[in-house]
Amino acid sequence: MVDTDLAALYETETKALKQQVKRNINRFPEDFMFVLTKDEKEQLVTYCDRLMSLKHSNVNPMVFTEQGVAMLSSVLRSTRAISVNIEIMRAFARYRALLMENKDLKKKIMSLDDKINKVFKFLLDRIDALHQDNQESLKRKRIGYRSADIDEK
């Protein structure tokens, strides 16, 4: 999550949130929080219209992972921060569950796809066999008069 979104959720200024993080920087390793580069910020603004306010900012935004958001509750001690953190953690849990559910669904679809491919292969093989049987039955002896010079060849 971007620092501006978290500040809005916690009903505080982005500057105040960043100050608290900087004062407690040892609680935020790179896998908890990182600062976007100028290019990353531009890409984020390009692809996410709601972050257009970052476009003209001279300061690159801080981005927090799930663990970083959880760590914010130890830095921001207001009642609002605690309740927001609880809801954010629940949202992350629902998101993870949704991803896992989709993995199971994907496995089931792949399994069905394999079964369908086997059935289609079987049907195509049977159709080919019937077609070959039909071609062989069409090869009949010619009926009629044969001249002597044709028989010799």
Residue-level pLDDT at 140: 64
Q: By the 8 A CB rule, do 10 and 81 touch?
A: yes
Question: Which tens digit of pLDDT belongs to each residue from 35-69?
Answer: 999 888 888 888 887 888 888 888 889 999 888 98
The yes-or-no verdict on residue 24 having pLDDT over 90 is yes
Compute the distance between CA of residue 44 and CA of residue 141 in angstroms, rounded to an integer: 77
For the ranges 58-62, 76-80, 125-129, the maximum mean pLDDT occurs at: 58-62
Mean pLDDT estimate for the chain: 82
Of 12-26, 58-72, 134-148, the one with minimum mean pLDDT is 134-148
* Cα dihedral sign, 84-47-94-72: negative
* Residue in this structure with the two tokens 């001279």, named with its chain if needed: 58
The yes-or-no verdict on residue 103 having pLDDT over 60 is yes
